[in-house]
Amino acid sequence: MNKIIESNLDTILSEKYLSYAISTIVSRSLPDVRDGLKPVHRRIIYSMYQLKLFKSSSYKKCARIVGDVMGKFHPHGDQAIYDSLVRMAQDFSTRITLVDGQGNFGNIDGDNPAAMRYTEARLQDYTNYFFDGIEENSVDFKDNYDGQNLEPVVLPSQLPNILINGAMGIAVGMATNIPPHNIVELIDALKLIIKKDKASLTEILKIINGPDLPTGGEIILNSNEKKQIYKNGKGSFNINAKYQIEEMKNGLYQIIITEIPYQVNKVKIIEQLANNINNKKLPLDDVVDESDENIRIVLKPKTRNIDAEKLISLCFKLTDLSIKYSCNFNVLIDGIEPKQIGIIEILSNFLDHRKVAIKRKSKFNIEKIKKRLEILKGYQIVFKNLNSIIKIIRTKDNPKKELIKKYKLSDLQCESILSMRLGSLRKIDEKNIKDEIQKLNEELKYLNKLIKDKKTLDKFIVSELDLIKSNLDTDIKERKSLISSEQNNDIDISVDEFKEIEKFTVIINKDFQLKRIKEITDEKEIEKIKKENLFLVNLNSNQKILLFVSSGKVYTIDPNILPGGNSNPKSFIYFVDSMPNDKVTGLLSSIDKELLIVSKNAKGFISNTESLVTNQKKGKQLFNLKNNDAVIKVLNLTKKHIACVTKLQKMLIFEIDALPKLQKGGGVQLIKIKKDDFLSDVTQLTIEDGLEWSTGSKNRKLDDVEFWIGKRAQAGKKVPKFFNKNQKFDG
């Protein structure tokens, strides 16, 4: 019979999606704060425990382990289980590996592990700390997915694995990213919390220096960032690769990368470096991977003159030799409640779990001891009445009933006596029984105290932590990551700092074609080229050209891209996005400080070159033109006065300070012009030196210019005698 559900689709979708989200959060993606494991990792470790794959046993095929996990506990894809198993065996992924792998388990280059039918695995010694009292009722068990097996709800871990190995997972609507930490620092922090109930975050952070990553590296984490991360469970820090500078012959050197950031693929870093070398973004001659079991990436600079620290800074900026790691301490509280918490709450939750596990284990052992004491008391009765008891057993039809009746034994005592072997009768010794009873009573007393007395329990956990600390291998205890409070490298550095600076002369001819030639400093040569070309500018290769056009726009051009040597010049339109009718009206260097820009309608203003440089080919609009106006000239200002001349032979000289300084605009009136007049030319001058101009091949000079000096926007006076007929200062 079909069941018809009548409900709104949005209601059903929201309910089902919520159910899916909760399932993902609780059963897949977020780790339990108590043992630091996700369900898949817990099931793998427990399944290997059941298979008795301890460090002392032989390896078993990973396919067998994966099959066991999938068949008994984890009804998901075999590849997902195998990937989790592999990760727990990779020393570059996990701070303290949980699985001892044999075979190809992948590498830091990003190569995949061999198929599970080839690889073998067993548990590492470290996992012994996950199973303390697991068979002594220290944790709850639940039915597996088909109800045929039992699996632990959580493992009775003796260490805060969630911080030791960290965790990473993406659920629905939330994610977790907890970096690994140093086990010794965490043990010391736990001891502080036990000894001092209300230990402050500041006190904890004096012990915990910060994350300790499997691949080492340098962690940049100042005190404020550190406090933010460990207080709120959210924040970020930078991880830099570790490097050393190796000196070579003749003043040469090479940079050796010895440790790379956590979770970064080594091959990817080398590819990034190679691509940047090819794109001329890094001044490196070559990058060589000489790694074996240790990382060794060799960076060879182009020249010995390059500063090593600046070079590595640029490498950090352009590649994953430096990354940002975001922390998000999202965990499951009691395996149910997802919550973002700080480090004190994480450690406190772990300690609460540990105390519960110890108490449960103690209660289990108390019951076990009580049963043993009951049996031993029965053995004492046997010792005193051995012959009589043997006779009853041999002669009576129901010896159990007779023994219980005659010696007032319990059912357990009677069963123990009847199940004794004859050979063990010789071992019954009153003294040994009394010694064992005494020992068990002392243990019983201690276990009861452990359950009821907080100080005894705290002392027990501290001694347990000290014992674990002393038994750990040295390589596990030693810190791998260096913590720095400040970024030692200048991340803002640019590749331009490493370029060899050349000196150029850039010329633009009367057809508006650009070319780069070797620098010209000879005055006569400069004058000659000026006569043959429209503009000429001397500049360095690390400077930019500012090209001004009649429409009021200014373009920035890199001189290094211009044709040079014997190459033919190219039109400026190859390098910029200009309008078809644009004419070049000025050419300056980006280091020129102030410029004067003027238009045909005698408008003008002063601007600063720094604000004009842009990376966009479409340039910047500098002069806002009106009434069919056009820019006619741009000057690099070096003098105090300017002279303006109009087509109708009027000239005016005034101080440059009378003009406004603008980033862009429409300018102000330089000289008053009539309706049919327009500005023909401008030049700058020093009053004391007079005014110079050229007529054909002759150079003329006017020493006294007082007659033409006035205020800005005046009408001006007739040009001097012998002035050019085309009303230009340069003929």
| Nearby residues of 685 by Cβ (< 8 Å), 6 or more positions away | 639, 641, 642, 643, 653, 691, 692, 705
| Nearby residues of 8 by Cβ (< 8 Å), 6 or more positions away | none
Q: Shortest CA distance to 38 belongs to which of 120, 172, 207, 161? A: 161
In order of 124, 214, 352, 555, 649, the CA distances from 165 in angstroms are 14, 9, 20, 55, 87
The distance of Cα 594 from the centroid of its chain, to the nearest Å, equals: 44
Structure-token pair, residue 156: 């009775």
Structure-token pair, residue 516: 């780069």
Q: Which residue has the tokens 């979770």?
A: 263
Name the catalytic one among 118, 145, 446, 574: 118
- C-alpha to C-alpha distance for 516 and 507, rounded to whole angstroms: 7
Q: What is the Cβ-side half-sphere exposure of residue 717, based on CA atoms within 13 angstroms?
A: 11
User: Could you give the residue ranges of the DSSP H alpha helices within 25-108?
Assistant: 39-50, 62-72, 78-89
- C-alpha to C-alpha distance for 712 and 699, rounded to whole angstroms: 27
Phi-psi category of residue 602: left, alpha or beta, with phi > 0 → left and psi -120 to 50 → alpha: left
Residue 594's DSSP bridge partners are 608
Interhelix angle 343-384/223-232, nearest 10 degrees: 50
In order of 505, 639, 690, the CA distances from 595 in angstroms are 19, 11, 21
Q: Are 682 and 646 a contacting pair, CB within 8 Å?
A: no
- 118 a catalytic residue: yes
Residue 143's DSSP bridge partners are 150
Just list the catalytic residues: 118
